């Protein structure tokens, strides 16, 4: 960034009253259908930002683990009025497994903020004769080829599931969906045996007996569900999370990026909003900055690239 852009960005950050132009709408693109964890978080953050930034509309473009939305986003005008809410799928996983990636996450997006991290959970149809991950793995070993659902090929829930099953020594049939919401529906119906998702979209279903959460793929149990053990506690050393990041096009005006980052930081430092996210099984990130977001994405790409190669996941 040159000296002029740095001064412009600093000026925008220094003036709390700077906002988006009157009458303009901020479009927030989401790569998954309504009802999934990525869409749910996008709507929560839009609710927090509207009082400060004005009109925000959510545009859902599901498909290909978030690639459909990301490719449309890259064609959008770089005026700062189109942003994209990325999950792990579109930020890291979906392009990672393509022989010819449609974009480079570190070059083709202007990362604005990392807002939350959510350890994934494995959920199963409650009719299965199992109540924890150990007995579930024993069930799968006796019935190889059982179907499991995901939010799409290249989604974080796809690669993380493959890593978990590889670690557990079981074979399953991948059934990709256009987002987590339809995969959840089919898991409840018993059309697929299990899937990986977030606690945010599955805890109420677990409590109601419509799904069964078997394990958290995090380093520790989640405060919102302290009764659910981790995979590590049950003998499976697998860690996998999804996350919520916001990006603008690379050429978007730096002052718009600065205003947006400042508004997001205020939202993420709101104690009531933090509690709401924690209660949903998310880990809110209060220290919001573009540099931190970019560093996080780079670390995730470096972490998961050898995993994808080792598992032979490529298309």
- Predicted confidence (pLDDT) per residue in 120-147, tens digit: 999 999 999 999 999 999 999 999 999 9
Tokens 């906002």 map to which residue? 19
- Predicted confidence (pLDDT) per residue in 248-276, tens digit: 999 999 889 999 999 999 999 999 999 99
For residues 263 and 304, what is the distance between their CA atoms, to the nearest angstrom? 31
265, 17, 248, 59 alpha-carbon torsion, rounded to 10°: 90
For residues 166 and 237, what is the distance between their CA atoms, to the nearest angstrom? 11
Q: Which of 41, 101, 40 is nearest to 65 (CA)?
A: 101
Range list of β-strands (E), 125-273: 146-150, 172-176, 194-198, 212-216, 241-248
Range list of β-strands (E), 6-109: 26-30, 56-60, 82-86
Domains defined for the chain, CATH in brackets: 3-117+243-311 (3.40.190.150), 119-234 (3.40.190.10)
Q: Which helix (H) or strand (E) holds 110?
A: strand 110-124
260: three-class secondary structure by DSSP: helix
Q: 6 pLDDT exceeds 60?
A: no
Question: What's the whole-model pTM score?
Answer: 0.83
């Amino acid at each position: 960034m040159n000296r002029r852009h740095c001064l412009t960005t600093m000026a925008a950050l220094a003036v709390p009253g700077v906002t988006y132009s009157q009458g303009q709408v901020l479009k927030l693109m989401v790569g998954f259908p309504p009802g999934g964890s990525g869409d749910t978080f996008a709507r929560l953050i839009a609710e927090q930002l509207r009082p400060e930034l004005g009109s925000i509309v959510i545009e859902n473009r599901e498909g290909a683990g978030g690639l459909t939305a990301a490719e449309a986003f890259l064609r959008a005008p770089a005026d700062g009025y189109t942003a994209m809410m990325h999950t792990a799928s579109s930020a890291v996983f979906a392009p990672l497994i393509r022989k010819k990636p449609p974009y480079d996450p570190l070059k083709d997006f202007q990362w604005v903020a990392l807002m939350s991290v959510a350890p994934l959970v494995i959920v199963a149809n409650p009719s299965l004769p199992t109540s924890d991950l150990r007995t579930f793995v024993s069930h799968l070993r006796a019935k190889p080829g059982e179907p499991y659902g995901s939010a799409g090929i290249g989604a974080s829930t796809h690669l993380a599931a493959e890593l978990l099953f590889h670690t557990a020594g079981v074979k399953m049939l991948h059934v990709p969906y256009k987002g987590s919401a339809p995969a959840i529906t089919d898991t409840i119906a018993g059309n697929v045996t299990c899937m990986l998702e977030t606690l945010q979209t599955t805890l109420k279903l677990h409590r109601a007996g419509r799904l069964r959460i078997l394990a958290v793929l995090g380093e520790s149990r989640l405060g919102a569900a302290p009764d659910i053990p981790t995979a590590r506690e049950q003998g499976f050393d697998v860690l996998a999370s999804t996350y919520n990041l916001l990006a603008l096009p690379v050429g978007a005006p730096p002052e718009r990026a600065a205003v947006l980052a400042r508004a997001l930081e205020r939202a993420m430092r709101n104690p009531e909003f933090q509690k709401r996210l924690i209660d949903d099984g998310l880990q809110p990130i209060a220290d919001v900055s573009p540099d931190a977001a970019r560093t996080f994405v780079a670390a995730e790409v470096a972490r998961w690239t050898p995993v994808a190669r080792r598992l032979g996941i490529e298309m």
